[in-house]
Structure 1
Amino acid sequence: MSVATENQLKARDLDRGDNLAAARVFTAAFMDDPIWQATGPRRAWHRRLVLTALYYAEVLIARGRRAVLLGAYRGERLDGVIIVFPDGERGLPWWGWVLRSVAIIIAGPRATARSLTVSNALDRLHPEQAHAHFWLIGSRPDSLGAGYLLMRSATARIDRLGRPGYLEATSPEMAEVKELLGWRVRERYTLPTGAVVTTMWRDCPSRV
């Protein structure tokens, strides 16, 4: 019985001491993501370094902006992380760029220019209606169910706030999973590599 309890996945607020662990989870999850394949450094070691620095900054930004920041824990092991900004339509504060500057310097000018081009294009697709931005969700490759648990837990919190949700799915498989969870397709953006990012929307049940 104790073994089953220890191995059970549970979602809770990310522990204060798990900022770096969360960055590493995101890095492992997004190393081969279509957006980073199109924009990030070409060498794997370089991309890993950039992503770790970037996602560490993203976790700190999430804490500073009081985002919904949840971890999926299997015992004491962090298996997945989600970041949702309830005030998703608000822009990045100036100090957020300071935190991101380390990753920008490590990435170099070419990768940074490619990333900004794609980021600006995706920003233009954001809806004008007030919404919660489901910004990042990632899990360990060997952790079954962590992503699903985090999506359900974060969605429940956002629903209690009475806000619809918005996200970008970076693969057809991810978009299909989100559709099963009640999301619908809004628009599609084609990356320079030909891969497609799907923007998606979910109405708040209390306001439908």
Structure 2
Amino acid sequence: MKSGRNNMSALTSSRVRVIAQEAIDSYNRPMTAHEIEKYIKLNDKDLWREVRSKCYDYVRMILSVAKLSEIIKYKCLKRLIGVDKRANFYGLSNKTYDPNVWVPLGKPSEPEMEEPEKDTKFQGAPREITFHSVTEEEAVESWKIMHQNMKVNDPVWNALPSAMKEAHDYAKMGFDSKDIIQYAINKYTPLQDPMVLNDAIVILSRVLIESQEA
């Protein structure tokens, strides 16, 4: 039953990404999540019903997960009629937009050709986060490892509880597990530190499992 629900969530998020790319391409400029929602409503009523059954910011969250997609965020430098330029805009990374109006805020990660030596600085979240089932004991062990490796005042101890709460809330709303973990790691940058990344994924995975079982 849980597996079926997760499969449906994954299908919905994939369809949102596909139609979002279609919308952005047809507009020939980056669009806000609200504009993409209106496009979905007009062009795919079945998908719109599924989106509406999730939560009010479902489309924004899916677009914010830079995974298996050419969609990236853009900043708008000029005011568009009827659109708040402070809103998040989403465009296609393989398109060229007017640089006087649009500034890309991120690009999809390129496949790594080699593993150079790394210092203590981390270089962003991995291309795709893998969700896997973990036991409570494994999650507790990861928590212990993080306590051993990280100082008490490390930013990770502010980021992790917030990420856990968001993961729990989004799981209750029916979001796809992989999307939730990817979103959390992307949003809470201290969790991208190679010293804690794997253990953070284990802990978040356990949060999702317990949220779905409750």
Query: What TM-score do the two structures reach when normalised by structure 1?
Result: 0.31
Query: What TM-score do the two structures reach when normalised by structure 2?
Result: 0.30
